Amino acid sequence: LFRTITANAIATTLTQHHPALFSLTGIFLPLMIERKKNRIIKLTSKIHSSSTNFKTLLSPATFESVKAYSDSKLYNVLFTYTLANLLQKEGITVNCMHPGVINTKMLTKTWGPIGSPVHDGATREVYLADSPEVEGITGKYFVGNRMADSVPFSYQPEAGEALWKISRDILTKSGFNNPYKTPHL
């Protein structure tokens, strides 16, 4: 994880792991609301931060690669819980998961093949996306195929709301249309 800064002065680690997913989810959300019975799954990591200062999203001067990664994964958890709350009446479930330590290209290049095969991580994602066992379950954090507790900070609604506002502002400042146009989003 190297420090690369976007033209809008945001660390790319954070951009790739949160604002990009925030935007992409918003783009598909109208179709998902129309169709109902959809599941949104956000990948996160067991090493998501225990707390954060949201200025790290906007201040590359404070960039530390592991902290940026951990913060971005905390943002995935906060986004999951906030979106799940907003979509309660839409028939869409929103959950996040840590698929395990998986031998991705980044992991093997950085630390060697210390994790599980990519197939194992994919199987865990498919379980959450398709299993009848988790149908109707929303706003939860999973480790593999089991519900688990995320860090206490992630359950603070005001933290999720603050992240939501900052995320919308980042999209606007970046010149993207805000895909979250419905009144409650």
Q: In this predicted model, what pLDDT tens digit does every residue of 77-99 receive, in sequence order? A: 999 999 999 998 898 999 999 87
Q: Pick 132 or 18 by higher pLDDT.
A: 132
Confidence at residue 37, expressed as pLDDT on a 0 to 100 scale: 76
Confidence at residue 148, expressed as pLDDT on a 0 to 100 scale: 95
pLDDT category at 2 given cuts 50, 70, 90 is: very low
Q: Which residue has the tokens 């206490």?
A: 152
Q: How many C-beta atoms surround the C-beta of residue 44 within 10 A?
A: 26
When the pLDDT of each residue in the chain is averaged and rounded to a whole number, the result is 78
Count CA atoms within 13 Å of residue 118 on its CB side: 5
Query: Is the pLDDT score of 6 beyond 70?
Result: no
Sequence-ordered list of residues with C-beta below 8 angstroms from that of 148, at least 6 positions apart, any chain:
98, 141, 142
Q: In this predicted model, what pLDDT tens digit does every residue of 94-150 receive, in sequence order? A: 999 987 655 565 656 666 666 666 667 777 788 999 999 999 999 999 998 899 999
Q: Which residue has the tokens 């194992």?
A: 120
* Phi/psi of residue 45, nearest 5 degrees: -140, 150
3-state secondary structure 51-67: CCCHHHHCCHHHCCHHH
E-state strands within 60-144? 93-98, 140-143
93-98 and 140-143 beta bridge pairing? parallel
Q: Please check whether residue 145 is in contact with residue 157, taking contact to mean a CB–CB distance below 8 angstroms.
A: no
Query: Is the pLDDT score of 58 beyond 80?
Result: no
What pTM does this model have? Answer: 0.82
